[in-house]
Amino acid sequence: MAKVLIPIGDGTEVLDTLYPIFRLPEDGFEAVVCGPKARMYHGVLHEIPPEPTIAWDITRESPAYHIKATHAFADIRPEEYAGLFLSGGRAPEYLRYDQNLLRLTQHFFETGKPVAMVCHGVEIAAAAGCLQGRKATTVAKCRLDITAFGGIYLDQACVLDGNLVSARTWHDNTILLKEFVKMLLEDQKTRA
């Protein structure tokens, strides 16, 4: 079973992260969750509350499910993985400084293996220097992470650009995973 790497940390958005964890095995891919260390991480839920009498200018964060990373970034051999899924939440804000994760991320872009990113996951790809000349989308408040690193921001539910597929938020998970799985299956045939 081909493996897909899913990096997480404390503050990972649970809908961004759990959806691919459960979705990828449906098409024969093992979802491997990794973090700075192999341990349990605190997930969060981000939403703009639907209560119209209490306005929020940005998403509210609430505690959510915990997610276990079975591997540490430093122990991952990226050549053993078919793809990379960069989920959002607050975790990418500090994970983007982890040199092991940046090395892993660069491997997937340099080798042309499928990469999916949603929401704040763009911060990891940007910090790894992988967005120069690339078209991508993200949550609107993170578009600077694309344009400041030489990429082209498109406000669309899902954007395909070579081996990269991106989505704005967990609301776009269905189309994101549909395209990512298609890319993974095609890439597996090509590399066989």
For position 192, what pLDDT does the model report?
Answer: 87
| Residues 114-118, mean pLDDT to the nearest whole number | 98
Q: What is the mean pLDDT of the chain?
A: 96
Residue 85 reports pLDDT greater than 80: yes
CATH number at residue 151: 3.40.50.880
User: Is residue 46 within 8 Å of 89, Cβ to Cβ?
Assistant: yes
CA distance 134 to 150: 8
- Domain count along the chain: 1
For position 133, what pLDDT does the model report?
Answer: 98
Helical H segments across the chain, by residue range: 14-23, 91-95, 99-111, 122-127, 144-147, 173-191
Residue 52 reports pLDDT greater than 90: no
Catalytic residues: 120
For position 54, what pLDDT does the model report?
Answer: 76
| Residues 86-95, mean pLDDT to the nearest whole number | 97
For position 91, what pLDDT does the model report?
Answer: 98
For position 60, what pLDDT does the model report?
Answer: 84
For position 55, what pLDDT does the model report?
Answer: 78
Domain that holds residue 12: 2-191
CA distance 132 to 174: 27
| Residues 64-90, mean pLDDT to the nearest whole number | 98
